[in-house]
Chains A and B, each alone.
Chain A
Amino acid sequence: MLPILGCGDVTFPAYDSAREYGLRADPVFADGSRPKNEFIASIDPMNTLPILDFHKFRDPALPYAGETEFIENNLDKKVKDPSKVPGDVKTVLGQILKEWFGTPARPRVNYDNLLTGKDFDAANDRLGFDAGTLAKGSMLYRVHCLHCHGVNGDGRGITATWVNPHPRDYRQMQYKFVSLKVPSDPNAQTPSRKDLRRTIEYGLEGTSMPAFGMLPPEEIEALVSYVMHLSVRGYVEYKAIDSLSFDGKLLMIPDEVKDIPFDTADNKAKWRTELGKLWSDHYRRALDRFVEVNDPAAEPKIAPYELAFTPQSRSLQEYVNLKVKGQNLNGAERQKLDDGKADFDAFAQSVKEGYEIFMDSKRGACKTCHINFGKDAKYRFDTWGTLVRPRDLTLGQYRGGRRATDLYNRILLGIAPSGMGAYQAYFEKNPKDVWKVVNFIQLLPYPAMLRECGVNPIDSPTPQPPAAAAAQ
């Protein structure tokens, strides 16, 4: 029993050695091409995943009307059907992926020649892709993650259709909760090992991802490595399929093999070499991104902000309660109220400024998507074709973590796959302003406190001028 509970050096049965990852079958959307049109729709009903069975997507019974239309109009351009990849190329892709990434029972990352020109050992260390770690990660993944996230990390495990939000599909190297940008490519967001570890350890509140923090640290590390491995594999596969065009002929086929038929063993080997060369660029890119974000020098620098009200000194809650009590205070309570006034006023000021940034359409403009603080936010498609909506911030439930620093990161870096923009540029000059927004957001579930800070938590087109708040 004890080994099952995750203590001691446990082993579980590994995958059948004949099993392979299998090639992608769901549509490939070119980067960022999914429609982002907002519309009100019901959430994905039980037992359906966002399309993604090409044979069904014209079924009017499916609730993805908006996206179905998009696919119809963009087929073979922005949207590609992997089943149309010519058999020869598919074979080559399968062989190359197997050679590079192994099988679920023996995962590997075959990248020695891709990290040239870099400090190989350091990069290797940051990636944690050695065979032992990956094998361990694969074994643990099979026990803890597979049933939701699927064998190849496609987010289509057996329970996936029954949970909403649906489990993450790792294959495009897209992740929601990151704490830094890829230094060499500000548009790409890749989680560091630390980000992934945090998600595994703490789970995601409000989703079906539970916390796995009770697993020994080395098992969590192995899982992180394996998820990264699936991600890199999926990314190469996705990019390879995306770089092909299927309207009858193939584009992006290297000139060297364009005119060579895929028949004899020699010719086949040529195809493999040439396509391998072509696709190894994506491989290198994926590895680079993970190496870069795990560089200790890339650690994000968070602008510190000393909060006047720290839980250690006095309770905001208590202060507000005293304030509300107003006239009926006894001597000691009145003293307390007076003592905290300066601190409280400073805090209230920051909340108010945060509110203004949130509401002002020329500044943060958070309200454009978080309509009525997210209560009336509209559904939209995310990168994976799932229906999502900007968070209802009045619930006090934050999927990316409830720490103040988590909220800071969400505001600064956005949640790219679901369409939340990054506000790094906006806050560049006054990084401390982010904290003001954080202060405001953290009080949003507590309207009585907001009121005491001089913010009237009613969606209004312009912030209330301070004079009006004081007059109330």
Chain B
Amino acid sequence: MRLWWSLVFGVTMLACFLLVVVAACVPSLKWWLPDPVSTHAHHIDALFYLILAVTGFFFVLTEALLVWFMYRYGAGDKPATDADFPKLFKPFTKYLDSQHKIELGWTILPAAILLFLAFFQISVWAEAKYASRRGEMFKDATPLQVAVVARQFEWRIRYPSSYRLEQWLKLGKNFEQDEDFKNFAKVKSPEDVESVNELHLWKGHPMLVQLTTADVIHSFNLPHFRVKQDALPGRILQVWFTAKKANMTQLALDSDAKTDSPTDKADDKNRWDLACAELCGWGHYRMVGRVLVHETQDDFMSWLRAKEKEEHGRVSAKK
């Protein structure tokens, strides 16, 4: 009986461990973290690996001890007697009760590890989430600002007009003071450009997303960019990141560009999803969009202008 139980535990734990190893070592399975494509992704990943190493070490240690003790010292069907107790520990049995120091030890050590993680991650968290620190990521440039409205079940993304965007880009780091820039999230303009489920940006330039939702809570998740932020009704939250890779290697620049099927355009291997990570039933998992990163600012502008023409042009948009 004790063999049976130790086997059950041992095999299950070993399988879990092996699965993690396989997932990490065989990227083609796509079970591990997706390609990091944002500038801050490797910091997040480093933190992930650190936490994984700490928890992994203790997981393996405690599970191995558990299984070994179960097998070696399990009482089986008979009630345990003193004779079953490990000979090695026999002289110490009387010390095994009311050991405050030992208990103190195994309370303080994990607490210390947790505190270490809590302090260690602050700089990474600050980089990704503190408005006061985002200047480092923006590198004195005006970010590309878009407004994202989540709703059941899609992402509606609003871009400024190309003209307005060009004006903003001239602002440099002074964009925080610009009224027009600040108003964008709250005030619509008849010249805005909208797309559904398609988040366009260009490589190496920071993007500032003004995120909100029209109905329930959604979670704006860009797995490849290591970005995740809940969208809350009635609040506009800001998310920022910079892409360090492009997945739109070529773009039809003429006005006939089919803006209707983004799946055609992004190379399938470099398909980066805009997912909803809200754990709330039916529908959220399906509201998948795409992140489409253009190689250069010019490519992005061409796309924006084509989209503008389609949306505001006073002639039939060919298809």
Which A residues fall within an 8 A CB radius of B?
A: 2, 4-7, 194, 197-198, 201-203, 205, 208, 210-211, 213-217, 300-302, 304-307, 310-318, 321, 396, 402-405, 408, 435, 438, 442-443, 445-446, 449
Q: How far is the CA of A445 from the CA of B313 in the complex (A)?
A: 19
Contacts known (A4-B285, A302-B316); A443 close to B263, Cβ less than 8 A: no
Select from chain B the residue with minimum beta-carbon distance to A310: B312
Query: Is the CB–CB distance between A405 and B315 below 8 Å?
Result: yes
B191 part of interface (Cβ distance < 8 Å): yes
Query: Is the CB–CB distance between A213 and B190 below 8 Å?
Result: no
Question: Which of B7-15, B18-26, B149-157 lies at the interface with chain A?
Answer: B149-157
Query: Is the CB–CB distance between A305 and B310 below 8 Å?
Result: no
Select from chain B the residue with minimum beta-carbon distance to A299: B316
Name 5 A/B residue pairs within 8 A (Cβ), A-sorted.
A5-B285, A214-B262, A214-B289, A312-B163, A443-B190
- B310 in complex: contacting residue of A211, A216, A317, A403, CB < 8 Å: A403
- Chain B 116-136 against A: per-residue CB contact (8 Å), 1 yes, 0 no? 000000000000000000000
Chain A residue contacts of B319, Cβ below 8 A: 194
Query: Is the CB–CB distance between A205 and B156 below 8 Å?
Result: yes
Q: How far is the CA of A7 from the CA of B269 in the complex (A)?
A: 11
Q: How far is the CA of A231 from the CA of B316 in the complex (A)?
A: 27
Chain A residue contacts of B260, Cβ below 8 A: 197-198, 201, 213
Least CB distance, B282 to chain A, in whole angstroms: 9
- Chain B 158-187 against A: per-residue CB contact (8 Å), 1 yes, 0 no? 000111100100000000000010000000
- Chain B 242-273 against A: per-residue CB contact (8 Å), 1 yes, 0 no? 00000000000000000011111000100101
Contacts known (A205-B156, A208-B152); A312 close to B189, Cβ less than 8 A: no
B87 part of interface (Cβ distance < 8 Å): no
B290 part of interface (Cβ distance < 8 Å): yes
Query: Is the CB–CB distance between A203 and B154 below 8 Å?
Result: yes
Chain A residue contacts of B305, Cβ below 8 A: 311-312
B196 part of interface (Cβ distance < 8 Å): yes
Select from chain B the residue with minimum beta-carbon distance to A313: B163
Q: How far is the CA of A4 from the CA of B285 in the complex (A)?
A: 9
Chain B residue contacts of A300, Cβ below 8 A: 316
Select from chain B the residue with minimum beta-carbon distance to A443: B190
B308 part of interface (Cβ distance < 8 Å): yes
Which B residues fall within an 8 A CB radius of A?
A: 30, 151-154, 156, 161-164, 167, 180, 188-191, 193-194, 196-198, 260-264, 268, 271, 273, 285-290, 305, 308-317, 319
Q: How far is the CA of A438 from the CA of B315 in the complex (A)?
A: 12
Contacts known (A7-B271, A203-B154); A402 close to B194, Cβ less than 8 A: yes
Chain B residue contacts of A443, Cβ below 8 A: 190
Query: Is the CB–CB distance between A446 and B288 below 8 Å?
Result: no
Query: Is the CB–CB distance between A312 and B197 below 8 Å?
Result: no
Query: Is the CB–CB distance between A317 and B315 below 8 Å?
Result: no
Chain A residue contacts of B316, Cβ below 8 A: 300-302, 405
Query: Is the CB–CB distance between B271 and A214 below 8 Å?
Result: no
Contacts known (A304-B315, A435-B314, A443-B190); A217 close to B164, Cβ less than 8 A: no
- B315 in complex: contacting residue of A194, A216, A302, A312, CB < 8 Å: A302
- A214 in complex: contacting residue of B162, B167, B263, B314, CB < 8 Å: B263
Least CB distance, B98 to chain A, in whole angstroms: 51
Query: Is the CB–CB distance between A305 and B311 below 8 Å?
Result: no
Contacts known (A311-B161, A316-B190, A405-B317); A210 close to B268, Cβ less than 8 A: no
- A217 in complex: contacting residue of B154, B263, B313, CB < 8 Å: B263
- B264 in complex: contacting residue of A5, A217, A311, CB < 8 Å: A217
Q: How far is the CA of A321 from the CA of B305 in the complex (A)?
A: 22
Chain A residue contacts of B196, Cβ below 8 A: 202-203, 211, 213
Most buried by A among B271, B287, B311, B319: B311
Most buried by A among B162, B193, B196: B196
Least CB distance, A308 to chain B, in whole angstroms: 11
- B154 in complex: contacting residue of A210, A405, A408, A446, CB < 8 Å: A210
Query: Is the CB–CB distance between B263 and A305 below 8 Å?
Result: no
Q: How far is the CA of A438 from the CA of B313 in the complex (A)?
A: 11
Contacts known (A311-B308, A311-B312, A317-B191); A210 close to B287, Cβ less than 8 A: yes
Least CB distance, A267 to chain B, in whole angstroms: 50
Select from chain B the residue with minimum beta-carbon distance to A201: B260
Contacts known (A214-B290, A217-B263, A217-B264); A402 close to B311, Cβ less than 8 A: yes
10 pairs of A and B residues whose beta carbons are closest in the complex = A305-B314, A304-B315, A211-B196, A311-B161, A210-B154, A302-B316, A315-B163, A211-B154, A311-B308, A210-B153
Query: Is the CB–CB distance between A315 and B164 below 8 Å?
Result: yes
Query: Is the CB–CB distance between B154 and A216 below 8 Å?
Result: no
Q: How far is the CA of A435 from the CA of B314 in the complex (A)?
A: 7
